[in-house]
Amino acid sequence: MRKLIRSYTFRTVVQGLITIWAVMTFTFFLIRLMPGNPAQIKIDEYVDRYGMSEDQARQQVATLFNYDPDQPVFEQYVDYLSDLVRFDLGRSLTSTETPVAEQILRFLPWTLFSVGLALLVAFSLGVLVGLAMAYWRGGLLDNVMTVFASVIYAIPDYIIALLLIMVAGVQLKLIPVGELYGGSTQGIEPGFTVEYILDLLKHAFLPVFTYVLATIGGWMLTMKSSTISTLGEDYITVARARGLPERRLLTAYVGRNAMLPLMTRLAISIGFVVGGSAIIETLFLYPGLGRNLVLAIGLRDYTTMQGIFLVIAISVVVSNILADLLYGWLDPRVRLGGDKGTE
Partner 1 sequence: MSASADVRAVLSEKSLVQRLSSGTRGTVRALLRNKAGFLGFLGVMFFIILTTLGPLVIPYEGDPRLDRLRPGARSLFAPPSVEHPLGLDVKGRDVLSHIVHGGGPLILTALEAGILTTIVAVALGAAAGLLGGFIDQIISAASNFILTIPQFPLLLVLATIVTFDNRLGMALLLAVLNWPTLMRAVRAQVMSLKSRDYVEAAFALDLGLWHITTREVLPNMISYIVVNMIFTIRSAMYFIIALMFLGLVPLTEPDWGMMIFIGKQQGSLSNPEAAWMLLAPVLAIALFQLSLVLFTRSLEEVFNPRLRQGV
Contacts 24+ apart (CB under 8 A), 80-88: 80/28, 80/306, 84/24, 84/310
Q: Which residues form the interface with partner 1 (CB under 8 A)?
A: 19, 22-23, 26-27, 30-31, 33-35, 150-151, 153-156, 158-159, 162-163, 165-166, 170-171, 177-178, 272, 275, 277-279, 282, 290, 293-294, 297, 305, 308-309, 312-313, 316-317, 320
Residue 290: CB minimum distance to partner 1, A:
8
In the complex with partner 1, which residue's Cβ is closer, 164 or 208?
A: 164
In the complex with partner 1, which residue's Cβ is closer, 253 or 284?
A: 284
Of 89, 86, 116, 79, give the one whose Cα is nearest residue 311.
Answer: 89
In the complex with partner 1, which residue's Cβ is closer, 158 or 196?
A: 158
Residue 319: CB minimum distance to partner 1, A:
11
Strand partners of residue 283 = none
Helices 100-135 and 140-154 pack at an angle, to 10 degrees, of 150
In the complex with partner 1, which residue's Cβ is closer, 147 or 238?
A: 147
CA distance 83 to 202: 40
Of 108, 106, 285, give the one whose Cα is nearest residue 206.
Answer: 285
Residue 110: CB minimum distance to partner 1, A:
17
For the chain, percent helix, then strand, then coil, each to nearest 5?
80, 0, 20
In the complex with partner 1, which residue's Cβ is closer, 123 or 309?
A: 309
Of 279, 285, 289, give the one whose Cα is nearest residue 157.
Answer: 279
Residue 297: CB minimum distance to partner 1, A:
5
Residue 272: CB minimum distance to partner 1, A:
7
